[in-house]
Amino acid sequence: MQGPPIQPRFPTSPLGGGESRLNLLLGYAKWRQDTVAEHLPTLLEPLGIRCIRASTAREATDLVRTLQVHIAVVDLTIPMDGTDPRLDEAGSRVLELLRRLEQPPPTVVVRPPQPSVRESGRGLADALRQGAFAVLDGPVRIETMLEVLRRVVRRHFSDHWPVQ
């Protein structure tokens, strides 16, 4: 005996036509291989979540100024402009920009592995002071990121897509 069809917990937009009702900024370091930013769009776009990728802080800044961002994922190793990605980390600048918005989005920070417990604690405190919802140590597993995003939707949007 077959039961009723399974409905997604967060249905796609009732607006039809595949329109998104939730914009997710994915700021990531392009030089890294196999990041969650590569996999999230495939998983989330059918649910009505528009995944907007930015591989530099300049791209992220331009996107934040032109689009409403509902949730942001920021890799702290994102370069400023892509000239020398490993020496020019600008993730904290993106966090500062997001924090200064009229309606700052909940932000998930992805940071590189920390050299010591002391540095880890200092980095965590800095990210939380900048308004981070969660801080994850990279590399991040896709399951972990999906769970954090579920918690963001639950806490900030009461399990519903934001109203446009």
Relative orientation angle of helices 36-44 and 142-157, to the nearest 10 degrees: 60
The residues spanned by each domain of the chain are 22-110+130-157
Question: Which residues, in sequence order, are CB contacts of 32 under 8 Å at separation 6+?
Answer: 75, 77, 138, 139
pTM of the shown model: 0.81
The answer, yes or no, to whether the previous bond of 105 is cis (omega within 30 of 0) is: no
Is the domain defined by 22-110+130-157 classed in CATH 3.40.50.2300?
A: yes
Average pLDDT, the chain: 82
pLDDT at residue 17, rounded to an integer: 42
| DSSP code of residue 69 | -
Rg of the chain over Cα atoms, rounded to whole angstroms, equals 16
Quote the pLDDT of residue 126: 87
pLDDT band, residue 81 (cuts 50/70/90): confident
What are 94-120's pLDDT values in tens digits? 999 999 999 999 999 999 888 888 888
